[in-house]
Amino acid sequence: MINKSNQPIGIFDSGVGGTSIWKEIQQLLPNEDTIYLADSLHAPYGQKSKEEIVHLSIKNTEFLINKQCKLIIVACNTATTNAIKYLRSNYSVPFIGIEPAIKPASLQTKTRTIGILATKGTLNSELFEKTSSLIDNDIKIIERIGEGLVELIEQGRVDSKEMTSLLESYLHPMLKENIDCLVLGCTHYPYLINAIKKITKNSINIIDSGEAVARQTKRILNQKKLLNNIKHNVSNIFYTNKDITVLKNILDGVNYSLIEKLDF
Ligand code: DGL
């Protein structure tokens, strides 16, 4: 019988942003081999229709299943909120998704006002609507589409003037409304935390779901007896279908086994 626990965890995102999740996984589950797929050629997903997002998510899933992945992390809020239901009902591999952490933010806020920055695809999804309908009625949620942010990160322009002015234009109105928590509803945005802290003068809590995804992954692997507990030379493979330098720069300091550009 094949020992499935030795097989890798597959992770996909519309681009390089899901590496923020990969970093959490690697910290919590250091014995797991991983295969990361950045579909940067088709980023941003956030502006696409649900049908297109489902179609791309199927393609990414099948790629990772062909690589023998034992579990797949949809490291993209947009793909999770639009496609995970389809994926779960059509493939037997377990899926872990990521959704904006508005529930934890609603438990933390003192001003009863929280901001959320996410893609159009996430904010308009049925799943997001359902999750936000469960939040206490007296909490004000200020939603903002982070238009242009994913594009700049995909171009490797995290520290650019354009980034600062886009972020300012999204955050200043939220600050005026007295938010004390900002939910990062996109896996690309943890790379903007320093810039956000600067703009908000460290005055708000920045909440993202990366760590929670890693904990949930561990829980599910455990439950399904798929945890890899054997110490070995871990293999961490990264694939992209676009500019390899952007991915390499974002993985600066990371110990990876391979980064490869694919026609995909
Ligand atoms: N990282 C994706 C997310 O979490 C970005 C989506 C996009 O490509 O627009 O939503």
Ligand 1 centroid vs 144 CA: distance in angstroms?
14
Last residue of a domain, one of 209, 234, 252: 209
Contacts 24+ apart (CB under 8 A), 64-68: 64/10, 64/11, 64/12, 64/35, 64/37, 65/10, 65/91, 65/93, 67/8, 67/10, 67/35, 68/7, 68/8
Same domain for 222 and 248? yes
Ligand 1 centroid vs 59 CA: distance in angstroms?
16
48 CA closest ligand 1 atom index? 9
pLDDT 10s digits, 27-47: 999 999 999 999 999 999 999
pLDDT 10s digits, 188-203: 999 999 999 999 999 9
Task: Name the residue with the closest Cα to ligand 1, atom 8.
Answer: 44
Percentage, residues of the chain above pLDDT 70:
99
pLDDT of residue 1: 58
Ligand 1 centroid vs 182 CA: distance in angstroms?
17
Mean pLDDT value across residues 200-227? 97
Same domain for 205 and 220? no
The number of domains in the chain is: 2
Same domain for 196 and 107? yes
Ligand 1 centroid vs 225 CA: distance in angstroms?
30
Structural domain boundaries, residue 229: 4-98+211-261
Active-site pick, 11, 71, 186, 246? 186
Active-site pick, 9, 76, 105, 184? 76
**C-alpha triplet 186, 129, 60: angle, nearest 5°:** 45
Mention every residue, 6+ apart, whose C-beta is less than 8 A from residue 89: none
User: Taking all residues of the chain, what is their mean pLDDT, rounded to a whole number?
Assistant: 97
pLDDT of residue 255: 87
Same domain for 141 and 179? yes
The three-state secondary structure class of 142 is: strand
Same domain for 20 and 142? no
Same domain for 199 and 215? no
pLDDT of residue 3: 82
Last residue of a domain, one of 209, 232, 252: 209
To test the pocket of ligand 1, the residue of 11, 13, 247 to mutate (highest count of ligand atoms within 8 Å of its CB) is 13
Same domain for 216 and 94? yes
Same domain for 91 and 169? no
The CATH number given to whatever domain includes residue 192 is: 3.40.50.1860
Instruction: Give the whole-angstrom CA distance, residue 172 versus residue 93.
Output: 43
| Residue the block writes with tokens 């798929």 | 226
To test the pocket of ligand 1, the residue of 74, 188, 240, 241 to mutate (highest count of ligand atoms within 8 Å of its CB) is 188
Same domain for 23 and 81? yes
Task: Name the residue with the closest Cα to ligand 1, atom 2.
Answer: 76
Same domain for 125 and 196? yes
Last residue of a domain, one of 209, 226, 241: 209
Ligand 1 centroid vs 185 CA: distance in angstroms?
9
What lines the ligand 1 site, CB under 6 Å? 13-15, 17-18, 43-46, 76-78, 119, 122, 150, 186-188
Alpha helices in 67-190 (DSSP H): 77-90, 102-108, 120-123, 126-133, 149-154, 161-176
The three-state secondary structure class of 91 is: coil
pLDDT of residue 6: 95
To test the pocket of ligand 1, the residue of 36, 186, 242 to mutate (highest count of ligand atoms within 8 Å of its CB) is 186
pLDDT 10s digits, 151-169: 999 999 999 999 999 999 9
pLDDT 10s digits, 99-141: 999 999 999 999 999 999 999 999 999 999 999 999 999 999 9
pLDDT of 96 over the 90 cut: yes
Q: Is 69 a catalytic site residue?
A: no
pLDDT of residue 198: 98
Ligand 1 centroid vs 230 CA: distance in angstroms?
33
Same domain for 163 and 71? no
Same domain for 107 and 196? yes
47 CA closest ligand 1 atom index? 9
